[in-house]
Structure 1
Amino acid sequence: MTLFDSLTDVLNPDVVTRIADYIDEPVDKTRKAVNGLVYTITGGLMKRTTTEIGVNQLFNHIQKGRYDGSLLDNLTTVLREPAQTNTLITQGNDVISHLLPAMKSSIGSMISTYAGIRNSSAISLLGLTTTIVLHMLGRRVKDQKLDADTLASSLFAERDALVNAVPEEFMPRLVEKVGLQQVMAGVAAPARRSVVESAANSSRSYSEPVRQPISYESADDSDNDAGSLAKWGIGGLLVVALMAVGYYVYQNTQKHNNDNEPTTDVSPVTSNTVQSDTVARSLAVPADSAARTAPKSASAVVTPATPTATASSAGGSLTQQLTPYVSNPALPKGRIFPLTGVAFQPGSLSLTAGSQATINELATLLKANPALQIQLIGYANDASGALTNKSLSFKRVNQIKQQLMASGIDFVRIDAIGRGSGVSKRDTSGVAKPTLRKIDMKVVAK
């Protein structure tokens, strides 16, 4: 059973109804908000545990806060008491401020918009849901006797389940708001702590309080002051050396100042420097000003230095289709262009031969049109094993997005969503529909 299956059992209709009564929001909107927060918190903790500090913080918070799963057994009863509910909310919001610093407000705003509830309600739900998720993880720690490293690994084992569980309309904003590009693409992995610290924590019982490591300086146990005198002597030598260096620097500075020949501190400017600086400044232009200064003709397209990209931009079918559309302000945004030149090996994330040229061509077009924003839409019908078509389709388009970002394109200009085989599970028509395997590009803004 996945973490999300377990949380679904805990957050049953009775529990959600009591939560909705507490925050004074409709039950259906409360359910949508809680589900969105479960995905957000889980994904955020995955990202947090990609660093050694994050691994330690998550484990320490679970132990110090006594998140052992006991709340899950009597959650319905606890939620009957407003005072206890408020305590859980306060506790969860305090923890999320440490585990996901500076993200509480942005998460609350995202959930408020997504579920259609008040922002104050979203913040309350964030605290409550955080407490519930940490109790679920704490139960795993206790039952499976996990240490910090194995807890992080256990959390990352839920990555595919997370991709499959997140609703299609929520995925893009979740990935962008929490910064889960690397996590969702399967590139990120949990950090591993040092061997000494890992061994120390693994020998600690669950109920034993966690203490921060303290470093001690070696002390001399003798009765004389030789150690202290040695330290004072070394300190004095260091001071003298620093004074000598300072005097030397001062004398040389005076000599250069008195010299009649002017000096320069300007680094030589190369063509690479100019090119990288131009790209950096083009990405830093705000959306409104970029729209006013964006080139409006195919002749304004900058030809890159790489031979492959040059050939693509000069006569590529994507350039021929996209340039007239982008340069014509009378044409409305929202048009979809199939990326026929991009394909993957069956059931994998390996691009076929020739796909890279189209991706390079798309990167060139994005650089030449700073106001252009796109959405990559993936479809897959060739998933195998535990991987679903939805998960595979998302990972493929997210891999393309990562390559575009690596070429210098700002991530906010690229959305990536996976739609599986393109056949909706809610389709009850009974008419067989063909499954899809392709990559489309939708123009969101130009």
Structure 2
Amino acid sequence: MSLNVIDLIKGQLGPALISQASSQFGESESGISKAIGGLLPAVVGGLANNANNPGVLDAITNASSSGLLGNLLGGTSNNSVVTGLLSSIFGDKVGGLVNSIATFAGISNNTSSSLLNLVTGATVGTLGKYAADNNLDKSGIAGLLNDQKGIVSTLLPAGLSLASLNIGDWAKGYAFDNDKIKVSSHEDPKVEVTRSTTPTGTHIDRNNNNDGGGSIWKWLLPLLLLLAAGYFLWKQCNKKETTTTTTISDSANTGSESAVATVPSDSSAVTATKVDEDIDLNGVALKGYKGGLEDRMITFLKSGGYKNAADDSALKDTWYDFDHVNFKLGSSSELEAGSQGQLDNLVAILKAFPDAKIKIGGYTDKTGNEPANVKLSQARADFIKSALEKAGVGAQVLGAEGYGSKFATVDASASDAERAVDRKMSIRFAK
């Protein structure tokens, strides 16, 4: 399976950066997150559509030494590499893209423009680092970008489409110039379909054949869109329940090592917003979510549930999912900003209850190669185990296991946001 570079870049655009951007631009975190979710596939698609552009390849090749990733919020606004790239890949459509994202996310145009620069910097910097780490030359970078053409349009968040952004359909090989769209053809690579302003029913010349019929795209594209919309509505009406992207931290699980929360597909279902608050640990306040990992673990330990459990079989089906501990994409040794705090909380809980023992589990979604998924999830579980050992509570960790996508519930073809529920680290009590 081809590398999804959007997943790779997301490691640079985690919750900590979103929070900082929210404060800097005076916008809500949800608005910032929504805008980034739309801009990232747009920028990657723009680069993919210019995969053989020497200027684009030079920018990516030199990005690893540019320092872009070290100062995304402060170093991208007037960066000549970033502004030059945007001009190369979007031309005069930059303003339209900024306005579309601002409207979609409910933020100002100035913020949308700044986020476009930020996302472009993160994208080029990450691609440059990946190319340097994997010894990719310009040909290899071009190949990597070309691989993204078939998936970019599927990664746009709900409410955005390539048409609404007015920047083309990479999956079908369209160029950005919407006045003259080149369509790939194995039989006749020189065939062009030109948009016409003539009335419906007037034929367009094709290959100098005046007897040919009207452009097929005039009726085929609307028909395909109607069929897709009908299929989506049919699926929604027949879906009994849908998996949310919020995991239940203390979920009882039958017959598996991991459970996820499900809610009916009723449109009135609302996902509760998590808010940090003080969680009492024997008079010490820990920052965490009400109903989150810390809260549920402490409640269980205080209730005597662990002490009264006869053996491990009474504990193995209840897992606690980390709320804040996230690894950078593809890494088993680099945590996203803000992750260390919850590990420190776990150490404090184990020290407060020295008789308690735990096991660690790592999980991935269904994308990618399964042996590699198992290896990655195992390495992440081992990383957390090692961190706990260094903090002095290693004797309370009885094991760490990576399950890969064994217990994943969301199909590999689902959106990244939907698959996020399966990518997690969890712990359970053990004896």
**Which range, TM-score by smaller chain?**
0.3 to 0.5
Q: Which has the higher strand share?
A: 2
Q: Which has the higher helix share?
A: 1
Larger Rg: 1
Q: TM-score, normalised by structure 1?
A: 0.41
Q: TM-score, normalised by structure 2?
A: 0.42
